[in-house]
Structure 1
């Protein structure tokens, strides 16, 4: 069931509350509403028809997939097509055609990827931005991202405000990212319906939920008289760019999330393989040390920094990353950087040839803070993954350049980081890190 709106309706009957709504009307430049008609020149009308067709086709495919998943088949339960007919046997094995393979993390990951890539909360908007919201929604759904909410929120009972916030919170906790397109218009909503400010406030209460907001760069903020909305536009999460640039930024953010999920799956797989190869290892306590490594990085190298952190964590070495979230003020980021440089025992700086100026700035700043430290910094490692890199042109005491082509091979670092009583954990880590991909190591045991 869905609803086709030919004009704006504020008070919807309870019978259609919660249903998907397709608005076949738009607001003209003079603020007048007009119904969309099948005119060859009316692009918005045809976009709406396309949206409706895509949604109906998706729903039919979903119903078909659900029917296949619940349909019993000989020797197992059909769970979808992954390179042919695949069935899950009662014993946990996967049957593909006439072959039976052991169910592993790789198989489970492939099967899970048959669903949406990720779930995104795309906030409701004022009527003047409905087309922009639909544009973003269409962009995401074409790339197999699920978009919430499915329909407009509306509650008509006495406790409508409480129900509304609970419904928003449920959808937010299902989501990977919160998106919002903003207007200078004051939303006209009856009690029981949501507003952009309410949804944004709820999103801020969800821990670790990234927030991306957009506004038209042509909007002159000096003409915005409503102080609440004006403050809304001043948030650091608001981007004033073209809508195409905003959609591109969304895609990059979601791809970062997917890359992190893949690394986590690979990490779980590697741990499962290690445990299968040596079951007694899982019961052995991990050696913990009190050294702290600061991985000084930027957003561009965040994936590499997180991968280094995971490898350190596997070996019981503490690490810290800088605050990189866009909603954190520059002053707070600078204070966090200074605290990390004063309190860490060692620092690793991922080095991309494009960022040579930035790396040199970080090394100089680290040197300036040495006089404020209680103990000298034990080691500084500049990690390079690019061949024929340009020289940094500077050298600090206890600084070493680590040339590593990749960190992806799980057998490299875990195989070479073997803690020995006579070794300092940090120096042992940095020296053995250079064995990656057969590169000759440098001995830091005397640090």
Structure 2
């Protein structure tokens, strides 16, 4: 049973057999290893290992034509993953799969994801794929040197770029599967509508050596609900490139650009190059500009005088750690979006906690604040009667209740739940959201108490901003949706 209704297979993998031949002393091929990582991570994102179906033909070398079995798999597939490489382009077999699936897309709401195993020049990319942004599993580490294929022959556990690529494609696959599933149930596709209402950032196209850093920023911002443009590949024709950049910049709250020692391509009819053109358009459009360079970059390594001036003299360029740069962008965009969300929201949450768990409560309250949701913490000191009265008022008047279970005891949490049970019957309206937030330490006594609509949020192993934002989003969605 697939994840997306009306499809037998959720995902079909199309690849060239030559790309999956293992080198001596390695048991599995590059494609099989990568798809194995993707299957595991996607199952984690969707919640179960059997949540979706993936079809991959391990006998490609034996086929000379599209068999009925493969035709059936193609025709009943929601998403096709193409492992694009020189081998794929040279394979008649892969071209037939591609042509068949692209015909099916016209009749069904199927989608294509491109994994670029090796560098493919723009003019060699199939016309059907030229508007799609590929997930690159190669990096050019030095100008003039051949690109390094990530995870070849086997992935190193310390290879951040490889696993960041796995995270990025599974994040997008999960979103696409959810959107297709929702459309099958409701007949409407909310993806475009949601994109219009999320804060957006223009993340400039970069030189090859910065592609993985760009991917890391995109993934980080997506975790906070910040959408990133461009979401398609631009034509490299200077006039069309300029038009596409201008169109996407208009939709964005900020312009973000990563800079290195390399100025990038400069075609004859674009002497300043694509890197500088994007910056110039952002300036002329009056966009807030956030640019980054490594603090370790040496100015003498930049041969191009104009590029050196941009990287080292522009006041908008920050020489700092990439993680600090990510947080700066996130905080700017989310802070900018809060006033727009405050107007239509009528949501107030009571965050109940003991004194020792104040840091956990503060972390939760910060996420609520960023989404324009009000909150209240309990009185800790004072007259017992006043503390009890304040507790009852919060339980009656709040739209949502979150009970923090960190260093406190299971007995304390149970008492709060029993108090909620008594008071909730007195409310005029039901709670929109009701949760127990389980924070560190990891080992704790089970509460063993369940009330209607109560959910448990497991953060026992620790938490960070991205994890909090992602896992609290469904609960916040209930508060926002029912309060609109």
**What is the TM-score of this pair, normalised by structure 2?**
0.42
Q: Which has the higher contact order (CA 8 A, sep 6+)?
A: 2
Structure ID, larger Rg: 1
Richer in helix (by share): 2
| TM-score normalised by L of structure 1 | 0.46
